[in-house]
Amino acid sequence: MIVFDSRKTEYKAPVSAIAVDEKVRLRIIVSRSLNCSGSRLAVHKDGEDTVFYGMFWAGMCGDGHEYWELHFSATTKGLYFYHFELTTPWGVLLVKKGANGLGEIGTGGDDFQQTVYAKEFKTPDFLKGGVIYQIFPDRFYNSGKKKTGVPESRVMKKWGDEPLWDESRMNGLWNNDYFGGDLKGIEEKLGYLKELGVTCVYLNPIFEANSNHRYDTADYEKIDPLLGTEKDLRSLCKKAQAMGIAIVLDGVFSHTGCDSKYFNMYGNYNSVGAYNSKESPYFNWYKFIEYPEKYKCWWGIKLLPEVEEENEDYRRYICGENGILRKWLRCGISGWRLDVADELPDVFLDDLRKAVKAENENAVIIGEVWEDATNKISYGSRREYLLGDQLDSVMNYPFAEAVLNFVRYGGADSFFDAVMTVVENYPPCVLHILMNHIGTHDTLRAITRLAGENAEGHGRQWQHEHNELSPENYKKGVSMLKTASLIQYTLPGVPSLYYGDEAGMQGMKDPFNRACFPWDNINSELHTWYKRLGEIRRGCPAFKDGSFEKVFSYHGAIAYTRTSSGNQVLVAVNNSPETVDVYVGAQWDNSYNFFEPVSKDGYIRLDKYCYTLLTKDAE
């Protein structure tokens, strides 16, 4: 008999974060042979002393076990850690966290985590049940519209050519090759995105900068001239909104470019930059060590001087009533994705949320956090991203790793452990709008990660030589990507599709993962598949905010359900080279199947590397 399982409602309800003053029922099942005369819950809020709560005896569980339980609630938000203590003739025995959320009796182990968020915490609804599409603007589509005000230093290349990667041919100019993708090009392809079921487009930076990736902002107040104008952005937002598609911009607020109107190292801007004079209005934005040549910069990259986000003038410029955040929200965007959110201090994030929500309470704030965002520690302190005062959502790297590792290597238990950790720790209003990607501009292309060689430790020359899969591995990669995307599209949260994955694009790390969209060479099998996934999400309400429950886990086979009012969906995947009979229960017999395998007498027979998706009315 399991003494405690934090991931099953028989022991813990709800299996999630809770709001302030919301009760969670905790129950343990103790063997009568322990002669337990008392039990208590030991809880400590992060950084505070432990508080003990007596549990009450709640009856027998069969002949040999008994229930002890209580209801716990917290009056303040934060992270709470807990375990159980049993009083026995042999002394006090502890019940602490073991593998997969199971309680283990002993003296060691970790405490369980209970996230408690502000009761008024709400997140925007427009993302729920939808699909996000990430676009690297220079490489998506070139409208052919004439550009004005483009610096002569930019190297323009023919659409579809290989991005520059060889340092010996760059003449010291990094990320200076451009293919001319623009905002009008995105607008022209809105119909294409609509067919994929896209409801939100996330754009990598579009503000004036001196690189193709534009993470070295030169002017937050202007659209990069190669991408278009403010008028073009307004037009894109208006036409996208009419088609049910929101636009989210990338906000890079931890650093600027050294070649910017704020720093102005090279004197290319008609402004007095921080590098030019200590009297500059921007001088206090930066962290000079020895003026002007030695300053703090992002990850040691001299091209990216760090800003002092705590600086009041800088915060006013970004977060003020007429600041950068609100300026672009007034143009029609629906929110912000924050680059390196874990490098932004609390005071800045607090101000940012106030500014965004004051302008549009339904705008979304998505942070780039690569770990579990509920218990992240950065710069020596526990962060409070998802307790109600900062972010609405994060890029869900834990899910990405879980999906990709399961499809490539198998391991059902590891997959569910990663997924259930997020389900347990994140507030429900966050869980259902998590940005669930399996590839971005910062990672290998999904198909390459699944079927290609491991790029870790290899330089650009090696990556260039291994950038394209063999025909055999590409065919295998297509199959693996279909499995991975099925899981991605059916987990709690919102799937985020990196431009071109649906077309079969390959690619190692930057810049190979940022090639031009192959409009004349789209993989029809994958394109059709992704359109189908979009249709399935639209047709099943359970994907909007349905609960998640593990049904089956065995080596390379998994099954889980999503359940909401009126609708229930079951996903079963066999990622092993053998046929597996997956037990799901007779209630799934005669349900509607999107793919061929069905439930018979409570079992689904899945051939090797096969999957199915069933749906029915919720009971």
Catalytically active residues, by annotation: 339, 368
Chain centroid offset of residue 385 CA? 13
Phi-psi region of 440 (alpha: psi -120 to 50; beta: other; left: phi over 0): beta
* Alpha-carbon gap, residue 239 to 188, rounded angstroms: 10
* Alpha-carbon gap, residue 546 to 565, rounded angstroms: 8
Question: Nearest 5°: phi and psi at 219?
Answer: -155, 110
Chain centroid offset of residue 322 CA? 29
Q: How is residue 533 written in tokens?
A: 């996934």
Number of other CB atoms surrounding residue 256 within 10 Å: 29
For residue 394, list its beta bridge partners: 367
Q: Helix or strand or coil: residue 172? A: coil
End-to-end alpha carbon distance in the chain: 28
Q: Classify residue 118 as exposed, middle or buried by CB count within 10 Å of its CB (0-12, 13-18, 19+).
A: middle
In this structure, the strands spanning 132-135 and 200-203 are: parallel
Q: Helix or strand or coil: residue 373? A: coil
Q: What is the DSSP string of 580-602?
A: EEEE--GGGTT-EESSS--EETT
For residue 247, list its beta bridge partners: 201
Q: How is residue 123 written in tokens?
A: 């997140």
